[in-house]
Structure 1
């Protein structure tokens, strides 16, 4: 059977065209490619269908986010191997076909390839779980640095693979390139549709991990223009998950806390929420010191503190529904 590739579109048809070009220029057409459109992008559909008529197009009736859109693609897919592929990726050296062939003949239930930045430096692709998801707190402003320092001092096991060399077993895989066996999905279930964006692949991998092992093939590569499509959607800037002061940061924090509740339980969720609340005054103190004594006149520091603080207060409004575990669509866009 052919591998099925699912790409979610939200006003990112230009990126998708580049992504598809990187796939098809290698002369490999034995894929089923499904684009799931979250943005009613008729112009993009025409451009993509005109260049690649074999691509299937599924239109969602609203901006359904990553999990729901990918689930729609998975339901429509016919392949025995499913690849969730970000629109802001460029596939190299027949990585999809090679990854599918290896995964199909292996004991693993899911696999990824080594993601690269545009300067070809390695991008974190494979990760490990920590008790209670404590590594999730390293993204906190000010407090996160202290947590990382303590982790280094105490020689805590690394939470990720900085650069995979050959085959590396991991607990969860970056959702930019996440390939899964259909048989594993049938057992573990689809992505959790409470998530809008961020953390859904982590929660999904935690369920896949109960079915079997996951790995990264470090000798296969894909460029990932990290955050391009999400930044456009949220009107944000910067890469990664460390800017928690804007709307994108709000979604990152909310999704992360929902994941902690689902994966580790109410106690760990409350612990994480307390850490967020504790960070507000600590971050304020650090901001005062920076602006008054170290870097006077930096208004941006105050804007970042204010944005983070407001986001934390907003999240507090979700506490009852998160604790209840009732179905809820955690979307802020």
Structure 2
């Protein structure tokens, strides 16, 4: 029998996580076995105890420190036993039949339709931020039909299904992008490996736009722009427009954070888990 591994990484998002797991329990995959792997990144909101009491069927990896998203996702991918992997954010709730439709599409990589609580469709598919697209901003304005199934160049990873064969070919997330742009990097790697990501509008998932990063806005903006520069350096180092794209990203970071003149570091610098943990803790301490 085929098996699905649902992978959820969370940090201090217990209420969202409870709702996410309740939806998974109610709208489980009917075509095979399902295991749910939750990585708790050293949360202080009682989530581990909640999981043991309310969701004993869930496999919990409780980290002693916050490994940040990419490393924790890779940790879960290595531990998972499924033929399919479903990366799911803790603020994402599947609806009836969503998982069946994702797997039933019989594609190597499949993205769901993300909707807000009011039912409005989220613009969850973008183009790639090449140097030119970075300068013009066109990568965020992709003309995409969210009511039609078809190829999706760069979908959000809030609910993304892929086969074990894809994982074995590509590997996991690049941990040089611990919190941001790991999904963009992964999508570009899939494209360059000749793999196509398919979007399925019938697979509807309610999504709340990032339970962790909402609480760390300033640090999130700064780190996301540093990750953006690392992405450009990794994939477009020889592009003649990259220096101008670097200026565009830096100006955007200054404008959004008010840190005028502060350097993002050469090629985005290097973000260690320790340094990012300190920033997250300083701005994201749960009340």
Query: Is the pair's TM-score, using the shorter chain for normalization, greater than 0.5?
Result: yes
Equivalent in the alignment of 2:246: 273
Query: Which structure 2 segments of 5+ residues have no match?
Result: 281-287
Equivalent in the alignment of 2:223: 251
Write the distance in 2 (CA, Å) between the matches of 1:159 and 1:127: 6
TM-score by length of structure 2 reads 0.84
Write the distance in 1 (CA, Å) between the matches of 2:256 and 2:21: 41
Write the distance in 2 (CA, Å) between the matches of 1:36 and 1:260: 29
Aligned pair count reads 272
Equivalent in the alignment of 1:197: 179
Aligned counterpart for 1:313 among listed residues 251, 262, 266: 262
Write the distance in 2 (CA, Å) between the matches of 1:112 and 1:208: 13
Aligned counterpart for 1:218 among listed residues 172, 197, 201: 201
Consecutive aligned runs of 4 or more in structure 1 exceeding 6 Å deviation: none
RMSD, aligned α-carbons? 2.7
Aligned counterpart for 1:90 among listed residues 85, 89, 93: 93
Equivalent in the alignment of 2:155: 173
Contact 1:112 1:178 in 2 (8 A): yes
SS in 2 for 1:274: helix
Contact 1:3 1:100 in 2 (8 A): no
The yes-or-no answer on 1:33 pairing with 2:36 is yes
Contact 2:125 2:156 in 1 (8 A): yes
Equivalent in the alignment of 1:66: 69
SS in 1 for 2:12: coil
Q: Which has the larger radius of gyration?
A: 1
CA, structure 1 residues 45+275, in 2 after alignment: closer, same or farther (shift >3 Å)? same
Contact 2:29 2:99 in 1 (8 A): no
- Residue 80 of structure 1 and its aligned partner are, at CA, apart by 1.1
- Residue 74 of structure 1 and its aligned partner are, at CA, apart by 0.3
Query: Which structure 1 segments of 5+ residues have no match?
Result: 138-146, 237-245, 281-303
- Residue 111 of structure 1 and its aligned partner are, at CA, apart by 0.9
Contact 1:112 1:125 in 2 (8 A): no
Equivalent in the alignment of 1:135: 133
- Residue 328 of structure 1 and its aligned partner are, at CA, apart by 5.7
